[in-house]
Amino acid sequence: MNAPSTLALLLDPSLVLRAQKLTPDPWQDELLLAREPYLLLNCARQTGKSTTVAALALLQLLTVSGSLVLIVAPSERQSHELFRKVLDAYQALGQPVEALKSNQSELELANGSRLVALPGREETIRSFSGVDLLILDEASRVPDDLYRSVRPMLAVSRGRLVALSTPFGQRGWFYDEWVGAGPWRRIHVPWSQCPRIAPEFVAEEVRALGQGWVDQEYNGLFTALEGLVFPEFEMAIAVPAGSASDRAPTLPAGTAHAVGGIDFGWRNPFAAVWGVHSQDDDVLWITHERYLRETPISDHAAALPREVMWHADPAGRTEIEELRRGGLLVRKGDNNIRRGIALITARIRTGRLKVAATCVRLIAEARLYRYPTPAERAAIGENPIDANNHALAALRYLVSRLVPPPTISAPSPCAK
């Protein structure tokens, strides 16, 4: 790359985005011009944080010969996704420096610069040193031990550290650094700073997933949860306790499908809940449950109804196959706990979950299922206490498959 081209990128780093036909937002211009060695990005989903950090990585590779840039993420898939964004930007600029090596996880340029994408495993990372730019993607999910193991890579090179993420509760190094007094430049980008995310979309996310989920994923808030996970569950009981509770409620007429969820267990109970999902008003009716310990899967397969589309614990691959051999229709559920909780909460608050009072195990669990206390949270993290999470887990697997994962489409060319 010749000197005028290098100078142009140094003077206007947004050229990397514009070459991709993207119009940068003000915060993206600010980030690309930043010179601080430590950057923390707390950005809402789909605001363009990955695209912008990819541009930052490419600028380092092109303008500083011999640079070593590492991308580290909790999973290989995540690190490869950001790596591909760097390649897209490199190709959009016309590959101004020849590539000597290019594959799914490594790019080596003729000026001696190198980009490597790595999964978040300590054994794959320790061999690197002299890193000029270290990028931690999905940083709130990067374990504390891994964070401590990668920081020494910057000691001799005095390289930069850029961490990007949405929050994941009040825990871990990402939260500690965000609220601490360390020498970080902190950039907070809620959805309201992204012109491509419409208020109507966020309102629908609140309806579908709940305010807590939106606060974390779109407002960038570090929320700590305490008390019952579902304090409003009584609102979902279709027939109040003590009033004709020996029968299931009358289901609405219209288009509906039989659906159910399954949580596997032996000493812990096997739990199944099922009912119908009304297509007309998106109301889920839970009318039946099965809750047994130390019972063979074959017995469950014989007892459960065949007309139901079941969504089961994805970790139970063997059990799922056995149920299928028994004639049941079974799909893998989604085990994202926070998303599942958000979906159930949103259904309760909007009247789209109805539970028959005859589902006594499910209701009993909802009255006990809680978040850890502050003392417990320090030892076990922020996920709810698992002791009363069997019928509720089955419900979560079911509810999480009634809607697709949230997506956003950009109506016009702009920085995604």
- Helix (H) / strand (E) element for 84: namely helix 76-92
Contacts 24+ apart (CB under 8 A), 188-191: 188/42, 188/43, 188/220, 189/27, 189/41, 189/42, 189/43, 189/44, 189/47, 189/49, 189/220, 190/44, 190/218, 190/219, 190/220, 191/44, 191/45, 191/47, 191/218, 191/219
pLDDT digits (tens, 9 = 90+) for 309-319: 999 999 999 99
Is residue 184's pLDDT more than 60? yes
The answer to whether the 3-209 and 233-400 domains have the same CATH topology is no
Domain ranges of the chain: 3-209, 233-400
Average pLDDT over residues 190-207: 93
* pTM for this prediction: 0.69
What local confidence, expressed as pLDDT, does residue 3 receive?
66
pLDDT tier for residue 415 given thresholds of 50, 70 and 90: very low
Q: What is the mean pLDDT of the chain?
A: 89
pLDDT digits (tens, 9 = 90+) for 210-230: 888 899 999 999 987 778 999
May I ask the CATH architecture of the domain 3-209?
A: 3-Layer(aba) Sandwich (3.40)
What local confidence, expressed as pLDDT, does residue 416 receive?
46
Q: CATH assignment of 233-400?
A: 3.30.420.280
pLDDT tier for residue 374 given thresholds of 50, 70 and 90: confident
Is residue 244's pLDDT more than 50? no
Give me the percent of the chain exceeding a pLDDT of 90: 70
